[in-house]
Amino acid sequence: MQRMMQRMGISMKDVNAEQVIIKCSDKDIIIDKPQIVVTKVQGQDLYQISGVVREEASGEVKLDISPDDVKMVAEQAKVSESKAREALEKAGGDIAQAIMDLKK
């Protein structure tokens, strides 16, 4: 089957991914633990995606704030880690802005 597909100019490969996000005007479609196959046919890449699907309203992007960032902001601003996390979320993950906001 593979050889026949190669002769026809078709190739397939798996993509290792943790998450796929499709941004629409009114919502985000999020596919967790996706299984992705890329099929190349006549110079076109076709993506086949399956997995656990959920939807979120646009703008509700969850920040991935590392514990190291939280600890650094807490130490620099001399506040608790929970306050440091809140400041980082409010600052969109910007460490310097979070520290400045907490020192006001």
At 62-86, the pLDDT tens digits run: 678 899 999 999 999 999 999 999 9
Residues 6+ apart with CB under 8 A from 44: none
Between CA 59 and CA 73 the distance in angstroms is 25
Looking at residue 75, its pLDDT comes to 95
pLDDT of 61: 57
pLDDT of residue 59: 61
Q: What is the CATH number of domain 2-57?
A: 2.20.70.30
| Ranges under pLDDT 50 in the chain | none
How confident is the model at residue 97, as a pLDDT?
93
DSSP string of 1-28, one letter each residue: -HHHHHHTTEEEEEE--SEEEEE-SSEE
* Helix, strand and coil in the chain, % to nearest 5: 35, 40, 25
Residue 39 pLDDT: 93
- For domain 67-103, which CATH number applies: 1.10.8, 2.30.29, 3.30.420, 1.10.10? 1.10.8
Which sign, positive or negative, has the C-alpha torsion 72, 77, 79, 82? negative
pLDDT confidence of residue 62: 64
Residue ranges of domains in the chain: 2-57, 67-103
